[in-house]
Each structure stands twice: as structure tokens, then as C-alpha cells.
Amino acid sequence: MWTGWLPFDPILAFIVALNILWSGGKLVRQSVGGLMDEGDPELDRQIRTVLDAETNTRGLHYHQLRHRHSGTGSAHWQATEIEAAIKANSSVPVTVTTTLNPSRSTKRYTKG
């Protein structure tokens, strides 16, 4: 025994167990929030502030606002660039909507 005090080991074990449960609980909470597509209250406030200002100046109304926080900003810009390239290379006017998903591998595959 390191300290010579008999209750030390069970007390320390209990504290470590509480830490594991607390950390695990936070991970489960974050995972469930992501799986259930939980909204971000701060993002919602920011979007509503802009929408309120813009719709009020134009005499418009909005309802049933839905949004999600997904991915990174770079993925959004990549999707925008891909959409622009498709439009630029099309012989007729097109509307392009993309959804990008992360690659499972960093390898680049080529046809051939």
C-alpha cells in the first residue's frame, strides 16, 4: 500500500469510476444529439436574427424554420465549386444541388 491508509484505494477507485461515468455520459449525450440531428440554439438565434431583420425590411414573413449544422465550411465551398463547374459545362440551364459525404479512405480512385 502506497499511503498506508486503508480507505484510500476504494475512495480513489470511486472517484475514478465517477470520472469515467461522467466522461462516458457526455460522450453518449453528444452522440445521441448528433444521431437525432439536434439543433444548435446559438446558431438558431443567429439565423433568426438575420431572418427577422431581412424579412422585416422587405415586408415578408417566414415560418417553420429548420436548419442543421453539418460538416465543415470547406466542404460547403467545395460543393459550391463543383456545382459551378457542372453549370459552366452544361449546354442547357441546370439547377444543381449537391450533398457531400466524407470519404472512407484518403486514397483517390481513378477509372482504368
The pLDDT of 8-17, averaged and rounded, is 94
Statement: residue 111 has pLDDT above 80: no
In angstroms, the CA 99 to CA 112 distance is 26
Retrieve residue 15's grid coordinates. 472517484
Rounded to whole angstroms, the Cα distance separating 77 from 83 reads 10
Q: Over range 77-96, report the average pLDDT.
A: 86
- In this predicted structure, the answer to whether residue 105 has a pLDDT above a threshold of 60 is no
Task: Tell me which of 76 and 16 has the higher pLDDT.
Answer: 16
Cell of 25: 455520459
- Nearest by Cα to 44 from 62, 71, 69: 69
The residue that leads in pLDDT, 31 or 57, is 57
Mean per-residue pLDDT for 22-31?
Answer: 91
Q: Give how far the C-alpha of residue 2 lies from the chain's centroid of Cα atoms, to the nearest Å.
A: 46
**How would residue 93 be classed by pLDDT, with cut points 50, 70 and 90?**
confident
52-75: per-residue pLDDT in tens? 999 899 898 888 887 766 555 677
